[in-house]
Chain A
Amino acid sequence: MADVAQMPGVLAQLRLIAGLRWSLLKNSMQRKNNRWDLVGIIFAAAFGAVLVVGLCFAFFAGASAFLAGKRASWMGLLFWAIFLWWQVFPIFVAGFGANFEFKTLLRFPLSWRTFYLLGLGYGFADFAAVSAVCWVAAMVLGAAVARPEVLPVMACVSVLFVLMNVTLERLIGSWLEKILAKRKTRELFIGLFVLSMVSLNFLNPVLQRYGNAARPKILEYLPYLAWLPGSLAGSAVAGSVRGDPRAILLGTAGLLVWLGVTSGLLWRRFAAQYRGEELSETAAPAPTKKNNAIAASAKKAKGQSANGEWLPLVPATVAAVVLKEFRYLTRNGMAFLTLLLPPIMVVFFTMQFGNGSPLREHSLKPEMFFPAIMAYLILILISPAYNAFAFEGKGIQTYFMAPLRFQDVLLGKNLFLVALVTFELSLSLALLVWRVGWPSTAMFAATIGAGAFAVMGQLTIANWSSLSFPKKMEFGKMKGQRNSGIAVWTALGVQIVVAAVCTVIILAGKLLGNPWIPAMAFTGLTAAAAGGYVASLGALSRLAEEKKELLIETLCK
């Protein structure tokens, strides 16, 4: 017979788990790298706090203005804004969410009800939820100031709205978790997600072109939105302003139905987890068929390019790293799909601001387009280099076990990145020429020079950042996938400096009336950056040796 005299209550269990989270955070600060990471997070949190507090004033002012100025029916817009934020934002920034598997608590004697409440409670522990609750509170305050008689209905509706939102967010999150648990579905899903996010950029140009024709059709469907939570909350509050008990009843009942349905579905989902649902991939089954696949593979390999010899000018170790990087790219569905981004963005920008756009009178000339697009593409493509070992996992040990200088690894990785960036930029610039035409030869040369300088100038610092602030990332995983905070700020800082230098040089060319000055300046800068890069390789190899414990520990977790 176990000696458990009395089970801790729900509150005691919640306190215990809050304590556990605090201890995890506190203990993680014992590591220097995590302390640096925290600095980055604090910066991000400070920006987030400014956004939340600023919008609190906006929601307060909006609610009090709508209720005081006979526009109570517009309250629905405020609820809609919060609803969309709460449900959509966590999907976008899944990486910033609490990276804690509360299912690990299942080993303890938690009651089903406690498990459900804990799961629901976690819904309040992310940025979207905290900010949304602040904004709802600001709206309640605004209502109390503008029309105190509305306060009881407003407060009741707000509580229902908050509960419904947190339940729905947890429901969506738990379903996403189920979908994302298998590697293949996970990668497919994330790929589709990225593509759909990218295609959202085309909404504006499409609306500009076809918006007038589509408007009647859209208006036809608008009334159906009245049954969704944002509209229901708004109509209940508006009803209380008009003294219309039917509208209040319908609005709150509607919200209650939403809360009931989402709670029921979440209850089912959590029940499956409580019963011990196993979502993770299982080990591959034992081989069933015997064949000579490997012999066939070897035969095929003889006809193919094997590691190394397809890159005759570099050492075999560097070529092996380049080939490995290529294979990793082709198996990282999300990274592979993001390579579609640059050409898609070129098409998008040229639709939006090019000659063919509806904003024809404000359209940009090729002289502006080339450097601007180049800057944007380099920003996208170089950022991963600041955490270049993110996906190595336990394989990082191979680099330290093998008889090579670490600079070969850096060189291989950088070589692959430069090849990739060159390919992407060539493709994008070709698209740009097709869409908006050629710029002047001098500007074209300056753009290419600026691109070469921006890439070469960043590689050394990116290598340093990768070695100093590594952060493990996993393929096709959304939660917890972020670079070290300090690496993000380093990348941002360097990119701002590089962009500023390039802008000053291009403007200097214009001011001095010699369009070839930028091209010459960039050639000199690129040569200097290349010299610095080569000179840094030895020092970075030594740094890798110093940081190998950190790298292995971080990436092998």
Chain B
Amino acid sequence: MGEIAIATEKLTRTFGALTAVDAIDLKVQAGHFFGFLGPNGAGKSTTIKMLTGLLAPTSGRVELLGLDFQKHPVEVKCQIGVVPEGMGLFERLTGVEYLRFVGRMYGLDRATTEKRAEELLGFMQLADREKTLIADYSHGMQKKLALAAAVIHGPRILFLDEPFEGVDALAAGALKALLGRMTERGVTIFLTSHVLEIVERRCSHVAIIHQGRLVAQGSLEELRAGVAGSEGETKTLEQIFLSIVGQSGAEQARLEELTWLT
């Protein structure tokens, strides 16, 4: 078994009476492209926020690359890159100014920051928007910039919260190409997405969270093996997902109750 990049122990977060994340034990090996799935409100974003230091856990531990996040927040943050929910951009900076700012915040020297900002903007096809404020970028351009900012310091783990949400095929192509390059370099990618096709195509390992609890974790093959199906049939991730969260066929049953719609 290789190095563990992300490990949580009984990670819990409550909001008043609601337990959004309930004692999850997550393990992600270094270099894996890891998909974190769950229905709406299952606790995906809450978990990713706790894993990246944007939200304090109510109880439990987060360990990234063997370092306890609570005890070594600065050291851990140096090793990770994040595209958070809402992207976290300073909208009154231009793209290049934002990358320079982020590079310096991560402790890169001036020359490295300049070089990387230039290369990243070129790669993301944002280079000819030198004077445009981020506020005036389209949604896809903002996503590309947020990803560029998340990788400018060469993180060993990359957390992406819905990176393909609201992104057209062209912008998605650039994002996928960059992620592909990073996995080749051994970077661990932890991604949440509602688009199961993308997760199925990209991720080697998956975890599913439902009502705050981790209900499945493993490689796609392991998950397929755990779901009963007819012999010789290869289950899609969507089928696995619906089967695991107990929703398979539920829509049809519920739809039949809505007699007034037919």
A306 partner, pick from B56, B78, B113, B260, beta carbons under 8 A: B113
Interface check A480, CB cutoff 8 A: no
Q: Give B138's nearest chain A residue, CB to CB.
A: A283
Contact check, A402 vs B106: say whether CB atoms are below 8 A apart. yes
| Chain B CB within 8 A of A69 CB | no
Instruction: Determine whether A324 belongs to the interface, using a CB cutoff of 8 Å to chain B.
Output: yes
Q: List, in ascending order, chain A residues with CB within 8 A of B118's CB.
A: 294-295, 297-298
A332 at the interface (CB under 8 A from B): yes
- B38: CB under 8 A from chain A? no
Residue pair A395, B90 in contact (C-beta under 8 Å):
yes
Nearest Cβ on chain A to B57's Cβ, whole angstroms:
12
Partner of B107, one of A316, A328, A331, A546: A316
Q: Which of the 9-residue segments B94-102, B173-181, B226-234 touches chain A?
A: B94-102
- Interface residue stretch chosen among A19-27, A171-179, A262-270, A284-292: A284-292
Q: How far is the CA of A3 from the CA of B92 in the complex (A)?
A: 47
B191 interfacial contact with A, CB 8 Å: no
Given A283-B139, A297-B130, verify A324-B55 contact (CB < 8 Å). Answer: no
Which residue of the partner chain B has the closest CB to A294?
B127
With contacts A284-B132, A306-B110, A306-B114 taken as known, whether A394 is within 8 angstroms of B74 at the C-beta atoms is: no
Interface residues of A in 139-189 (CB under 8 A from B): 183
Q: A283-B137, A295-B118, A545-B56 are in contact. Are A403 and B101 (CB under 8 A)?
A: no
- Chain B residue nearest to A284 (CB atoms) is B136
Cβ contact within 8 Å between B93 and A327: yes
- What is the size category of the interface that chain B forms with chain A? 35 or more
- Which of the 9-residue segments A92-100, A494-502, A526-534, A548-556 touches chain B? A548-556
Q: Is the beta-carbon distance between A3 and B101 smaller than 8 angstroms? A: no
Asked whether A66 is an interface residue with its Cβ less than 8 Å from the other chain, the reply is no
Q: Which of A323, A402, A404 has the most chain B CB within a 10 Å cutoff?
A: A402
Instruction: Report if A405 contacts B (CB, 8 A).
Output: yes
CB-based contact B133/A394 at 8 Å = no
**Chain B 127-145: CB-based contact to A (< 8 A → 1; otherwise 0):** 1111011011111010000
Contacts of B137-163 to chain A: CB distance below 8 A? 137-139, 141, 149
Complex: A286 Cα to B140 Cα, angstroms: 10
Query: Bound state CA distance, A503 and B78, in angstroms?
Result: 49
- Is the pair A327, B92 in contact by a Cβ cutoff of 8 Å? yes
Given A294-B128, A403-B107, are A281 and B114 neighbors across the interface (CB < 8 Å)? no
On whether the beta carbons of A392 and B113 are closer than 8 Å, the reply is: no
Are A402 and B92 in touch, CB under 8 angstroms?
no
Q: Is B238 an interface residue, CB under 8 A from the partner? A: no
In the complex, are the beta carbons of B96 and A287 less than 8 A apart? no
B128 and A394 within 8 A (CB): no
Q: Which of A301, A394, A401, A475 contacts B53 (CB 8 A)?
A: A401
Count of chain A residues near B, Cβ 8 A = 54
Q: Assess whether A398 is interfacial by the CB under 8 Å rule.
A: yes
Q: Which of B79-87, B199-207, B248-256 contacts A (4 or more CB under 8 A)?
A: B79-87
Contact present for B75 and A297 (CB under 8 Å):
no
Q: Is the CB of B82 within 8 A of A331?
A: no
Given contacts A398-B90, A404-B105, contact A307 B128 (CB under 8 A): no
Inter-subunit contact B104/A331 (CB<8 Å): no
- The answer to whether A284 touches B90, judged by C-beta atoms less than 8 angstroms apart, is no
Query: Is A292 a contact of B82 with CB atoms below 8 Å?
Result: no
Separation of A228 and B66 alpha carbons in the complex (Å): 77
Q: A474: shortest Cβ distance to chain B, in Å?
A: 10
List chain B residues, Cβ under 8 A from A295.
Answer: 118, 127
Complex CA–CA separation, A546 to B133 (angstroms)? 32
Distance A283 CA – B138 CA, assembled complex (angstroms): 5
Q: Which residues of A contact B76 (CB under 8 A)?
A: 403
A402 contacts across to B, CB distance below 8 A = 77, 102, 105-106
Q: Which of B92, B100, B129, B139 contacts A287 (CB 8 A)?
A: B129
Q: Which single member of A289, A320, A403, A548 contacts B54 (CB below 8 Å)?
A: A548
CB <8 Å contact, B110 and A309: yes
- Smallest Cβ distance from B43 to chain A, in angstroms? 15
Contact with B along A297-328 (1 / 0, CB 8 A): 11001100011110000001101100110011
For the complex, is A205 an interface residue (Cβ under 8 Å from B)?
no
Taking CB atoms, residues of chain A closer than 8 Å to B103 are 307
A5 within 8 A of B: no
How far is it, in angstroms, between the C-alpha of A317 and the C-alpha of B90 when the chains are bound?
A: 16
| Least Cβ–Cβ distance between A187 and chain B, in angstroms | 11
Given A317-B107, A327-B93, A402-B105, A396:B88 Cβ within 8 A? yes
Q: List 6 A-B contacts (CB under 8 A).
A: A292-B127, A307-B113, A331-B92, A395-B91, A397-B84, A398-B101
A-B pairs with the 6 shortest C-beta distances? Answer: A397-B88, A395-B90, A294-B127, A403-B77, A283-B138, A320-B104
Interface positions of A (Cβ within 8 A of B): 3, 183, 281, 283-284, 286-287, 289-298, 301-302, 306-309, 316-317, 319-320, 323-324, 327-328, 331-332, 391-398, 400-405, 475, 545-546, 548-549, 552, 556
Known: A306-B110, A309-B110, A397-B84. 12 other contacts (CB 8 A): A284-B129, A294-B126, A302-B114, A308-B104, A317-B104, A397-B54, A398-B89, A401-B52, A403-B76, A403-B78, A404-B74, A548-B54
**Which B residues lie at the A interface, using CB under 8 A?**
52-56, 73-78, 82, 84, 86-93, 96-97, 100-107, 110, 113-115, 117-118, 121-122, 125-130, 132-133, 135-139, 141, 149, 260
